[in-house]
């Protein structure tokens, strides 16, 4: 239980040791540990035992971290849970939350839900903070998985397999309007107009 004990000590230190670097994000803004989890007796270590019992009964595992459900409230059985790293990362106070069609999620969560590259979505939001259907559009999804010669894989994988420059191929498809075959072969089909005969 060394790991769990270290988590317990870290929780208290963040809230009550003003010399700690991260104190300003915890104790410095009013985050506390509930009375039942604080040690009230140095001989019996009552607070630690209560915390340990709660943890073991509420999903503690070596690959999970202690997470506060509401980041503006303190550490307590009602506001804490054991979660994986990904869930906790989505619950950080420094995350950028976006509300779209009545739902609020982080950029990472929206990107995963919509199948849009997280960096692409983040760039769109920085350029225009106002949410819109166009911002959350999947119009570039065709570049994620491409079927060519009866084989489907990502554009990056195709470029790696065909030894093509990714940015060149990407530009051909998105900016120049080339078909996938044209972008891969580098051969642009030019439509020729037939001359009409003019009767005099």
In which residue are the tokens 């670097």 written?
A: 21
Give pLDDT, residue 51.
95
Mean of the per-residue pLDDT values of the chain: 77
CA 149 to each of CA 76, 140, 146, 153, 177: distance values in angstroms, whole numbers, following the listed order: 57, 21, 10, 11, 20
User: C-alpha 2: how far from its chain's center?
Assistant: 30
Please report, rounded to a whole number, the percentage of residues in the chain having pLDDT higher than 70.
66
Work out the pLDDT band at 68, boundaries 50, 70, 90: confident
Give pLDDT, residue 143.
52
Phi, psi of 177 (to 5 degrees): 75, 20
* pTM of the full structure: 0.46
For the residues 145-167, what does the mean pLDDT come to?
A: 86
pLDDT in tens, 178-192: 888 999 998 877 655
Query: Is the pLDDT at 5 greater than 70, yes or no?
Result: yes
Highest average pLDDT, of 63-72, 91-100, 155-164, comes from: 155-164
Q: Give the whole-angstrom CA distance, residue 158 versus residue 146.
A: 8
pLDDT in tens, 133-146: 556 655 544 456 78
Q: Give the whole-angstrom CA distance, residue 200 versus residue 194.
A: 19
Residue, of 41 and 118, whose pLDDT is higher: 118
pLDDT in tens, 52-62: 999 999 999 98
For the residues 80-84, what does the mean pLDDT come to?
A: 86
Beta strands in the chain (DSSP E): 65-68, 80-83, 97-100, 103-106, 146-148, 151-153
pLDDT in tens, 85-127: 655 555 554 456 677 666 667 777 767 666 667 777 777 666 6
> Closest Cα partner for 183 from 140, 148, 141, 137?
148
User: C-alpha 100: how far from its chain's center?
Assistant: 16
Give pLDDT, residue 56.
94
């Amino acid at each position: 239980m060394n790991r769990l004990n270290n988590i317990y000590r870290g929780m208290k230190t963040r809230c009550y040791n003003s010399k700690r670097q991260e104190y300003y994000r915890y104790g410095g803004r009013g985050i506390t540990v509930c009375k039942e989890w604080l040690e009230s007796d140095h001989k019996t270590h009552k607070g630690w035992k209560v915390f340990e019992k709660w943890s073991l009964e509420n999903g503690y595992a070596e690959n999970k971290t202690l997470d506060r459900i509401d980041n503006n409230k303190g550490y307590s059985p009602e506001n804490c849970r054991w979660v994986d790293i990904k869930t906790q990362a989505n619950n950080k106070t420094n995350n950028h939350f976006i509300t779209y069609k009545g739902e609020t999620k982080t950029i990472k969560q929206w990107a995963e839900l919509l199948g849009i590259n997280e960096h692409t979505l983040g760039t769109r939001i920085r350029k225009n903070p106002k949410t819109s259907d166009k911002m959350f559009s999947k119009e570039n999804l065709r570049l994620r998985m491409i079927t060519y010669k009866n084989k489907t894989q990502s554009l990056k994988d195709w470029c790696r397999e065909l030894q093509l420059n990714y940015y060149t191929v990407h530009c051909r498809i998105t900016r120049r309007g080339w078909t996938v075959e044209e972008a891969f072969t580098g051969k642009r089909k030019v439509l020729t107009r037939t001359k009409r005969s003019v009767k005099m």
